[in-house]
Copies of this chain bind each other. A is one copy, B any other.
Amino acid sequence: MAGVYDYLPLGLLTLNNINRVIREEMNSIGSQEILLSTLQNQELWSATNRWQDDQVDVWFKTELRTGTSVGLGFTHEEPLTNLLRDHVNSYRDLPFSTYQIQTKFRNETRAKSGIMRGREFLMKDMYSFSKNEEEHNVFYENAKRAYLKVFGRLGLGQKTYVTFAAGGSFSKYSHEFQTLTSAGEDTISICDKCHVAVNKEIIADQPNCPVCGGNLSHEEKGVEVGNIFSLGTRFSDILGLNFVDEGGQKKAVVMGCYGIGPSRLMGTIIELNSNESSVVWPREVAPFDVHIIEILGKEGEEIRSAGEGLYDALKRAGVDVLYDDRNISAGEKFADADLIGIPVRVVIGRKYLEKGVIEVNERDNGKEQEVLLKDVDSLVEALQK
């Protein structure tokens, strides 16, 4: 069905690598991972006016056998704010941040753009809880830097712009992370002086770059790979998430939320690193580090044996290897390797018999070399740089 995807083994390995990068960067700013439920109860969301379909138009609703309505979570501010009432009492409990990588459900009228906009999709959603605006702003800036690290590690750094977008009642702006691609649904205006953009939706209110005052006349299509948002006390006021400050005063917790879509990121990486017949994954997210293609000629046994030795040596060195030992033509193997997208391709075949070498093709930087099979240690070292 449109907007709903299954992940097969190679795709899941890639998705899990994206998740690993996100996890590492969120952990590095002190956020703690949790896992909230999909099923959501009506009362909680009614309290914040986000239950009725005329208030939120992406709910999937279902019901328990008792007849009680429940919804499938499209975000998790309400349950998390509610949960934290049991854990936050004093200023000593703050600041605090937590995140999850969890399946979200959004009943989109039209699901399009493949895994870029799904009805069921993976989301990393992080939430922060602070004593005041100042403490909130410190975390917000840390999160912004962590996000830029994620996009950098995924090979999207140059093409990804911190983009000023509409805020809410508690902040003038929110920030999107927009990656330039013609497949994007958003239009952004890029500053001609600094690496920042403004979402076209607010360009009327913000005709110049909010960072450096530069000109914003250059428009591009972008895909929103992440967004961060100051929530102020909107949820904590309504749901009663309060703390007692240093002076004994009860105050509402200041919140922020921070989203990244791992499955949308996967689609964006493909948009930037593929053509009709070929993909090259960035090394951080490739499903394997090295793809070995064996081409058996008449002396098949000798090649097979050397290839398996190479496979074992690489595995022992901690390199993840996909070994194509199928009994099909070399052309089919190369075509599949192009589509699977592993950045380093190694061919073992005729040249091994002639000269004892394997052919190493680093598809991401175009480097091609012949390496003596007995010198494979130096190959491993070179790959790990």
Contacts and interface: CB of A to CB of B under 8 A. Distances in A.
Contact of A6 (B8, B37, B72, B120): B37
Contacts of A9: 32-34, 98
Contacts of A65: 107-109
18 contacts: A1-B39, A1-B41, A1-B64, A1-B68, A4-B39, A6-B35, A9-B98, A12-B34, A15-B35, A37-B120, A38-B38, A38-B103, A39-B119, A39-B120, A60-B62, A64-B107, A64-B119, A65-B107
A103 to B, nearest CB: 7
Interface of A: 1, 4-9, 12, 15, 32-39, 41, 60-65, 68, 70, 72, 79, 83, 98, 103, 105, 107-109, 119-120
Given A5-B37, A6-B35, A65-B109, 14 more contacts: A1-B64, A1-B70, A6-B36, A7-B35, A9-B32, A12-B35, A38-B38, A60-B62, A61-B62, A62-B62, A62-B72, A64-B107, A65-B107, A72-B72
Given A39-B1, A119-B39, A34 B7 contact: yes
A62 B63 CA distance: 8
Given A1-B39, A39-B119, A6 B79 contact: yes
B39 A12 contact: no
Contacts of A119: 39, 64
Given A39-B120, A41-B1, A120-B39, A34 B6 contact: yes
Q: What are the 7 A-B residue pairs with the smallest beta carbon separation, nearest first?
A: A7-B35, A62-B62, A9-B32, A60-B62, A4-B37, A6-B36, A4-B39
A34 B254 CA distance: 39
A12 B35 CA distance: 7
Indicate how many identical chains form the complex. Answer: 2
A38 B64 CA distance: 17
Contacts of A34: 6-9, 12
Contacts of A33: 9, 12
A110 B24 CA distance: 39
Nearest to A327: B92
Contacts of A38: 38, 103, 105, 120
A259 to B, nearest CB: 18
A61 B72 CA distance: 11
Contacts of A68: 1
A37 B38 CA distance: 13
Contacts of A103: 38, 103
A4 B41 CA distance: 10
Contacts of A62: 60-62, 72
Nearest to A110: B65
A70 B107 CA distance: 11
A198 to B, nearest CB: 32
Contacts of A107: 64-65
